[in-house]
């Protein structure tokens, strides 16, 4: 066993001992924040910017006090032949500016799906260069307080990413194709078993099935469905992912459109400390588009 692996296991043991209980206060200073800590932050002179990552209609029915709203389509490009790719860094900065968020804000994100939608936005903001980000553990289900209806009024500000864009969090189609065939790369499909097997064909894709060489491990295993959709303990997460990839492996993640895989990136990187994890933003939609086009071209070439 390498020194690096030994060090990882030692640090993981420390984290597990400190954070094994879902409500442990030690999580409040890390990537997950508990409701009690968020409430305290909201009462300070510099409260966090809170982003509700749900469809607008649901947000308007009721949201955390002061929360602004982004849904996944608000942050996606519309100029490609397929859906799901995220907006550019400058365009995302403009979106945040319009909501009154600044570079100095600590940003807390939540949804009502255990963090998968909020995790996608966290991944995006982290990738583009904002370093003060947390997910509300359990999201809306854990709030348990009065919700605020309607839309929070926002005074536009100037948001600028305070760090350089990271290149160690995402892969494009070309890089993905090069890396996935490496025998030392671990390729994880974060979708459901029925999607992986091809039994379910989701809208937006160009065929059913999965990318050759992928292991199927649905993101939902990370969420405790019996505990207000809270993230599972570090002990549980470590046990689940250890058979799939070791901390020193290069891990490629994909799902349908990069949302569930972005959340899995959050779990592996920010909670478990894996260092070489990449989210394929285009995911199955983009891959099936190019694969389908390639199959069609091969068929046409055989008949010409």
Helical axes 234-241 vs 3-19, angle rounded to 10°:
140
Return the H-helix or E-strand segment holding 252.
strand 250-254
The Cα–Cα gap between 232 and 69 comes to 26
The Cα–Cα gap between 115 and 222 comes to 10
Q: Which residues are marked as active site?
A: 255
CB of 99 closer than 8 Å to CB of 131: no
DSSP letter string, 48-84: PEEEE-S-HHHHHH-BSTT-EE--GGGGB-SSSSSS-
Q: Three-class SS of residue 273?
A: coil
CB of 75 closer than 8 Å to CB of 86: yes
Question: How many residues are recorded in the chain?
Answer: 304
Contacts of 43 (CB under 8 A, 6+ apart): none
Contacts of 42 (CB under 8 A, 6+ apart): 48, 50, 65, 66
Q: In what order do the strands lie in the sheet with 250-254?
A: 170-171, 277-280, 250-254, 185-189, 215-216
Which tokens go with 230? 């809270």
CB of 54 closer than 8 Å to CB of 62: no
- Phi/psi class of residue 138: alpha, beta or left (left: φ > 0; alpha: ψ in -120 to 50)? left
């Amino acid at each position: 066993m390498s020194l690096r692996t030994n060090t990882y296991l030692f640090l993981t043991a420390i984290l597990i001992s400190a954070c094994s209980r879902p409500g442990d206060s030690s999580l409040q200073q890390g990537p997950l924040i508990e409701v009690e800590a968020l409430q305290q932050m909201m009462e300070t002179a510099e409260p966090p910017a809170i982003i509700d990552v749900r469809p607008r209609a649901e947000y308007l029915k009721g949201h955390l006090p002061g929360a602004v709203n982004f849904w996944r389509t608000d942050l996606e490009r519309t100029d490609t032949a397929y859906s799901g790719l995220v907006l550019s860094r400058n365009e995302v900065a403009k979106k945040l500016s319009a909501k009154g968020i600044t570079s100095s804000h600590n940003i807390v994100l939540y949804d009502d799906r255990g963090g998968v939608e909020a995790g996608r936005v966290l991944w995006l903001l982290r990738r583009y260069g904002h370093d003060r980000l947390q997910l509300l553990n359990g999201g809306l289900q854990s709030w348990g307080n009065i919700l605020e209806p309607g839309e929070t009024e926002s005074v536009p500000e100037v948001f600028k990413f305070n760090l350089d864009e990271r290149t160690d969090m995402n892969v494009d189609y070309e890089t993905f194709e090069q890396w996935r065939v490496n025998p030392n790369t671990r390729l994880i499909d974060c979708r459901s078993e029925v999607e992986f097997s091809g039994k379910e064909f989701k809208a937006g894709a160009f065929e059913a099935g999965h990318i050759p060489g992928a292991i199927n491990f649905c993101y939902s295993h990370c969420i405790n469905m019996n505990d207000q959709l809270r993230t599972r303990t570090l002990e549980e997460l470590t046990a689940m992912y250890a058979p799939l990839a070791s901390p020193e492996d290069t891990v490629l993640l994909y799902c349908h459109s990069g949302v569930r895989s972005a959340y899995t990136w959050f779990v592996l990187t920010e909670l478990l400390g894996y260092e070489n994890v990449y989210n394929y933003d285009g995911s199955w939609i983009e891959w099936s588009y190019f694969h389908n086009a390639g199959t069609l071209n091969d068929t046409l070439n055989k008949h010409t």
